[in-house]
Amino acid sequence: MSRAPSALAGITLVIAATGFFATLDTTTKFVSASVPLLMALWFRYFFQAVATTAVVLPLRGLGVLRTAHPKFQCLRGLLLLLSSLFAFLSLKYMPVAEFTAIGAIVPLLITLLAATALGEKVSALRWSLVLGGFAGTLIIIRPGGEDFTWALLLPLGMVATNTGFQVLTSRLAKTEDPITMHLYTGWVGTLLASLALPFVWTALPSWSLWGWLLLMGVAATVGHFMLILGYMRAPAATLTPYLYAQIAFAMVGGWIVFSHVPDGWSMIGMLMIALCGAAGAWLTARESRALKEFSVRPAES
C-alpha cells in the first residue's frame, strides 16, 4: 500500500472515531440526568472490555495479554478511568461542544511536556499556541462571569489526567502491542469501577435507558478501535489536526439532542482552541520532517 492511500485511510478512520466520541459524550450527558454517574461509567468500561475481549482473544489467543510493563498498564487504565470520571461529571454540568473544546487542548500540552521532558528549548511560537489554547479555555469557562460555577473547572481535571494518559501511552506504544494496551485499559477501568458498583446500582426507570447505555458502550469501543487503526496507518503528526473535527460533531450532537447552540464568546473560544491545536500539529509535522531530512542527509567529506 502506498503512503498516500494509507494516510487517507488513517485520516478517515480518525475523523470517524471523533464522530463516535462525540456520540459518546452526547449520550453521556443525556444519560447522566437519569442514571447514577458511576453506574454509567462502569457500564461504559464493562461493555468495552467484554466486546474487545470477545473480538481479540479468538484471533490472537492468550498471548495478547503478555506485557512487559503490567504496572504501567494498570496506571494507564487508572488515568483513563479518572479522565472518564471527570468527563462524565463535566458533561453533567456543561454543554457538549464547550466541554469537547476544552478537552482539545490536551495535544498542545502533550507536545509541550514532551519537549520539556527531553530538555529541548520550546520556541516562542509553541508557547504562544499553548497560551492561545488556554486563553480559549478561559473564554469558554469565563471565571467571574454570571454563568460561572466551580463545576465548570471539572474539565481541567479531565485535561490533566488525559494528558498523563496520553504521555504514558506514547511511551508504552514503543514496545507494547496497541491491542494489548486497549485490553488492559478496558479491564482495569471495569475492575476499578466495579468497586463502587454495589453502592450506586439502581433499577432504571425505563428500558430505553439501557439502550442509551448500550449506545455509550458501542460508541466508546468502536471509537477507540478506529483510533488505533488510524494510528496504525499514518503518523500522529499527520492525524492530530483531524482530531479537532470532534468539536464540530459535538456541536451537532448538542444541537440535535439538547437544542443547544454555543454563544458568541464560546464560539470564539472554541475557534481559538481549534486553530492553536491545528497549528501546533502542523508545527510538529514540520519539525518532524526537518529532523528526518537532517538525519538522512549524507555527511560531508
**Does 120 map to a domain?**
yes
Residue 51's Cα: distance from chain center in Å? 19
Q: Which helix (H) or strand (E) holds 244?
A: none
Number of separate domains in the chain = 1
Amino acid, single-letter form, for residue 175: T
**Does 127 map to a domain?**
yes
pLDDT band at 144 (very low <50, low <70, confident <90, very high): low
Backbone angles phi, psi at 293, to 5 degrees: -65, -40
**How high is the pLDDT of residue 292?**
61
**Does 233 map to a domain?**
yes
Distance in angstroms (rounded) separating the CA atoms of residues 34 and 22: 20
Q: Who has greater pLDDT, 55 or 6?
A: 55
pLDDT higher than 80, residue 182: yes
**How high is the pLDDT of residue 51?**
92
With 0-12 / 13-18 / 19 or more C-beta atoms within 10 angstroms meaning exposed / middle / buried, residue 288 is middle
| 131: containing domain | 3-296
Residues in the chain: 301
- Give the tens place of pLDDT for each residue, 76-121: 999 999 999 999 999 988 889 888 888 888 877 777 776 666 566 6
**How high is the pLDDT of residue 172?**
84
Give, in order, the Cα–Cα distances in Å from 31 to each of 28, 35, 158, 210, 214.
Answer: 5, 6, 19, 10, 11
Distance in angstroms (rounded) separating the CA atoms of residues 240 and 174: 18
**How high is the pLDDT of residue 114?**
65
pLDDT higher than 60, residue 295: no
Q: Who has greater pLDDT, 94 or 3?
A: 94
**Does 72 map to a domain?**
yes
Distance in angstroms (rounded) separating the CA atoms of residues 301 and 298: 9
Cα–Cα nearest to 165, from 267, 99, 86, 249: 86
Q: Which residues contact 54 (CB under 8 A, 6 or more apart)?
A: none
**Does 301 map to a domain?**
no
Pick the most confident of 64-73, 116-125, 128-137: 64-73
Cα–Cα nearest to 35, from 158, 206, 257: 206
**Does 150 map to a domain?**
yes
With 0-12 / 13-18 / 19 or more C-beta atoms within 10 angstroms meaning exposed / middle / buried, residue 257 is middle
Backbone angles phi, psi at 27, to 5 degrees: -65, -40
pLDDT higher than 90, residue 47: yes
**How high is the pLDDT of residue 1?**
45
**How high is the pLDDT of residue 102?**
87
Distance in angstroms (rounded) separating the CA atoms of residues 168 and 161: 11
Residue that is written with C-alpha cell 514540520 in the block: 286
**Does 240 map to a domain?**
yes
Q: What percent of the chain has pLDDT over 90?
A: 39
pLDDT higher than 90, residue 26: yes
Q: Report the predicted TM-score, pTM, of the whole model to 2 decimal places.
A: 0.82
Can you tell me the mean pLDDT for 211-225? 92
Residue that is written with C-alpha cell 458502550 in the block: 217
